[in-house]
A and B are shown apart, each in its own frame.
Chain A
Amino acid sequence: MTDLVKENKLLDAVSQAFKIKGKVIRNRRVEVYADKNMVSSILLFAKKQLGYIHMAHMTCVDWIDQGEFELVYTIYSPIEKITLFVKTRIDRENPEMENIDSIWDQANTYEREMREMFGIEFPGLVGEHDFILEDWDQIPPMRKEFDTHKYSAETFFSRPGREDAKEVRDELSKRSGTIVPDFAKKYSRE
């Protein structure tokens, strides 16, 4: 069992520099919680001063019951071989977050996707609004309140007479001489 010396040293360095809280999750994993206005400063500090030069990931979690989006920045040091998570929460109403693509260029792709999928605005973000979706006029689809069932029921339709594939099952029953059950109904998640 390692005694997590490097991890605690990293946590101390970040938490003391910015007066923020955090914890060592396990070996090679450290997380800190920051106010949204401090995130870019922490990331820049970690990159320039501590050697966390690889931005491994950036994600958003929609905590709809708490009315917040959680943004998680995952950065990695190839020297220390430790992953640092910088976590922040922003309001779900008119969500806005600092644009960090001046620190890591590839953040631009993540931010464009979050703008499209969660509706988070990143002031100064360059790039076409349509990244993955095209002419999307509904609520951002990765938000928890977006109902995929309702959307597909309203948008798509079955060919008349084929809603339950009955004629296919009848034909198969005729050929095989056995009754083919309605598997879609039998194993439905509803």
Chain B
Amino acid sequence: MVREKETTLYLGPQHPGITGNMMVKLKVQGDTVVSASTHVGYLHRAFEKLIERRNWIQAFTLLCRFCVPEPDPMELTYARAVEDLDNREVPERAKYIRVIVMELARMQSFMLWYAGQAGSAGLYMIPQWSVGDRNYILDLFEDLTGGRIYHMYIWPGGVRRDIPEGWADKTLRTMDYIEKRLDEYNKVLFDNTIFQKRAQGVGIVPKDKAIEWGVVGPVLRGTGIKSDVRIDEPYEVYDKIDFDIPTQEGGDIWARALVRKEEIRQSIRIIRQAITHMPGGAYYNKVSNPMKWTVPAGQAWARTESVRGEIGFHVTSDGGNKPYRVHVKGAAYTHGVTVLEKILPGQNIADVSFILNSLGVCPPEIER
């Protein structure tokens, strides 16, 4: 038997298979990963520090940029934490609009996941499809908020604008279109033998360790544990909407993919219900003068379910017109560091990008 030499391989920060600006330092023997360590710092923009110099509303321009693929949960979580400190009521209509925005955000992020997951398996047609289809959702965001990626639409007390005329119908038509497209995605991705063989039994997160390791979201549900902030600690109007939390056994990439495959359908289901049941009335419990608005002293912790799992904001106020401290925790903070470092040893080098995509690692969430 030939004893293979151990070498060091740097995956990223400039690498098509990495999920953003980060680097995974791999120790490899032949094609097998012996150990892995995550290195970040290529994208540190000191947002948490800069927010301390901006007022409560100005913070939105920074915090939506914590994670490019899915900025809206950041806005909502921060807004909910501030509402908690300020005891600010949110009108019922705004709650429904927020739910629609959150689910649209999940869907466009799922489309990016389709692209990343399939692309990292070498199936290059799916990224072309899904990024194209994602644009239909971004069109809805543009009509609603004026922005395609960053919206700054959810504010403490509600949302900034009411939905424009005809937007609800357009959204329903887009949902019909995407639902039809999902069947085609199934044919090219989930029925594809290459994808099945690459995904099954790879990148396993053990069920008995998952919660302890800080695993959340679809990755946790892929181990068979039914956990979702929208059900466990319902916010906005999720408790009034009928939807399922899909789970799968196995904890591998395949299980996580099946969970996501079903979740995007649940998002469509939620959006349809929210549009049907949305009441009229006010959409914004207005903040008197955003530039001079002060929030009572205290600390608040708010969490929401993003496409990658739980997002939490710990917000501290000293009673002034600026946040005293804002600390965000995204799913990637655990998935991209400790979880990744634990599950990579023993895997093939070619599967590293594949695993990274399935964990939903978003590096700006780690370094912010």
Contact = CB atoms under 8 A, between A and B. Distances in A.
Interface of A: 28-29, 53-57, 59-62, 72, 74, 78, 81, 83, 85, 104-106, 108-109, 130-134, 141-142, 146, 148, 189
B46 interface: yes
Contact of A132 (B54, B314, B316, B367): B367
A83 B367 contact: no
Contacts of B269: none
Nearest to B299: A72
Contact of B314 (A29, A59, A133, A142): A59
A132 B40 contact: yes
A109 B329 contact: no
Contacts of A142: 48-49
Interface in B292-325: 299, 301, 303, 310, 312, 314, 316, 324-325
Contacts of A72: 299, 314
A56 B367 contact: no
B212 A53 contact: yes
Contacts of B213: 105-106
Interface stretch (B93-101, B134-142, B332-340, B344-352): B332-340
Contacts of A85: 301
B12 to A, nearest CB: 15
Most buried by A among B46, B48, B301: B301
A78 B227 contact: yes
B148 interface: no
Interface of B: 40-41, 44, 46, 48-50, 53-54, 211-214, 225, 227, 232-233, 299, 301, 303, 310, 312, 314, 316, 324-325, 327, 329, 333-334, 337-339, 342, 366-367
Considering the complex of A and B, which 6 residue pairs feature the smallest CB-CB distances, nearest first?
Answer: A106-B214, A59-B327, A106-B338, A106-B334, A132-B367, A57-B329
Contacts of A108: 338
11 contacts: A57-B301, A74-B312, A78-B232, A105-B213, A105-B342, A106-B339, A109-B334, A131-B41, A132-B41, A133-B41, A142-B49
A57 B327 contact: yes
A57 B40 contact: no
B298 to A, nearest CB: 9
B316 to A, nearest CB: 5
B23 to A, nearest CB: 12
Contacts of B232: 78, 81
B338 A130 contact: no
Given A56-B303, A62-B325, A134 B41 contact: yes
Given A148-B46, A189-B54, 5 more contacts: A29-B301, A60-B327, A78-B225, A105-B213, A109-B334
Contacts of B225: 78
A105 B225 CA distance: 20
B314 A74 contact: yes
A88 B50 CA distance: 25
Contacts of B212: 53-54, 104-105
B74 to A, nearest CB: 15
Contacts of B338: 105-106, 108-109
Given A56-B329, A81-B233, A106 B41 contact: no
Given A59-B327, A62-B325, A148-B53, A54 B211 contact: yes
A93 B156 CA distance: 37
A55 B53 contact: no
Given A59-B314, A142-B48, A142-B49, A83 B301 contact: yes
Nearest to A148: B49
Contacts of A74: 301, 312, 314
A107 B212 CA distance: 11
A109 B338 CA distance: 8
A57 B233 contact: no
A104 B41 contact: no
Most buried by A among B48, B212, B324: B212
Contacts of A189: 53-54
Given A85-B301, A131-B41, A141-B49, A61 B325 contact: yes
